[in-house]
Amino acid sequence: MRPRARAWRCGPPPAGVRDFHAALPGYTPTPLTELSPLADELGAGRVFVKDESSRLGLPAFKALGASWAVHRTLAERAASGAGPGPVVLVTATDGNHGRAVARTARLLGQHAHVFVPRGVHARAVAAIAAENAEVTEVPGPYDEAVRRAAEAAAAPDSVLVQDTAWPGYERIPGWIVEGYSTLCAEIDEQLAAAGAAEGPDLVSIPVGVGSLAQAVVTHYRSRPSGHAPALLSVEPRSAACVLESLTRGEPVTVTGGDTTMAGLNCGTPSSIAWPYLHGGLDAAVAVPDADSAHAAARLAALGVSSGPCGAAALAGLRAVLTGEGGEERRTALGLDGSSVVVLLSTEGRDANPHSVTHH
């Protein structure tokens, strides 16, 4: 728990991102679904789930970042006088980001080369290959796949489109984060339409390297005044790099294990995300796989398709608000029976074949 985060402020995201997405074929805002039974369970006023199970034709939110970053990258190459020939867009992925880059490349007549770490389901790998991408499977963790992708992108007419940053590689990951701002802008409009124009009192965010969380912090902490929600990050217990980094007060790398929350199985926070996570997150929690599976089943019963990563938002909030110390944590987050809560369900069940659960 971090009591000063709601007073932290940063600059706003750039204008124009939402207009870019709105002009893409197949763009429509994803649903913000109110689930009254969850409000009763969690002791909140209203609970909404941002359902990213179908975003620009893919079963996760990642296309927002990939499409904007590739657009900016290709525009810059053209402006610099680079040849008109196709480029190879290189990336590493736990699944959804790589597929989004591959889809964007295919739609724009470019090539894609995607590096996949161990532990990504064969069906997720096949979905990337089906976008006409070259796929290289890496017998190591996510951070190793990122290293391999960065090496491959040094080839001529290749560019790395990675959704994590490190010192010296920050511009393109920054564009990916900007792309995610569209999701937050939609939530503002959808809450206003639902009679909650004040905005949320808490947003629960699944976190891998922290790029989506950086976008959410930027959105809510760039307002000079007015209502500031509490922001909660949720990670798998086996890969809680942000929780560990916040605990220590500096970015650290953790050695991850296996988790069904494949898209969150990251060992190192993104370097550009870290200042935002450190400044703007009110709370961080890590949950076991069983909790995320249970949350996915609950969401499915309420009509929302959510994979293990997406359902982590509910699993994490449940962990924070219940059990020993739950009442104190609820008070510290400023939550009561009238609070408006938004859960970011970042992927549908189709995004992650692990998520077929049996009860």
In Å, how far from its chain's centre is CA 52? 10
- Residues tagged active-site: 62, 94
Q: Which SS3 state, helix, strand or coil, does residue 78 take?
A: helix
Q: Which of 217, 287, 275, 221 is nearest to 250 (CA)?
A: 275
Strands of the sheet containing 111-116, edge to edge, are: 134-137, 111-116, 88-92, 158-160
What distance in Å separates the CA atoms of residue 197 and residue 227, rounded to the nearest whole number?
10
Element at 158 (helix H, strand E): strand 158-160
C-beta of residue 287 within 8 angstroms of C-beta of residue 312: yes
* Whole-number Å distance between alpha carbons of 265 and 255: 10
CA separation, residue 155 to residues 122, 145, 150, 159, 334 (Å)? 27, 17, 10, 8, 51
Taking CA atoms, 75 is separated from 68, 141, 165, 252, 300, in Å, by: 11, 32, 21, 35, 41
DSSP H helical ranges for the chain: 17-22, 36-42, 63-79, 96-107, 122-129, 142-152, 171-179, 181-193, 211-221, 241-248, 274-280, 289-301, 308-321, 326-332
Dist CA 90 CA 137 (whole Å) = 13
**CA separation, residue 190 to residues 15, 179, 197, 263 (Å):** 19, 18, 9, 26
CB 175 within 8 A of CB 168: no
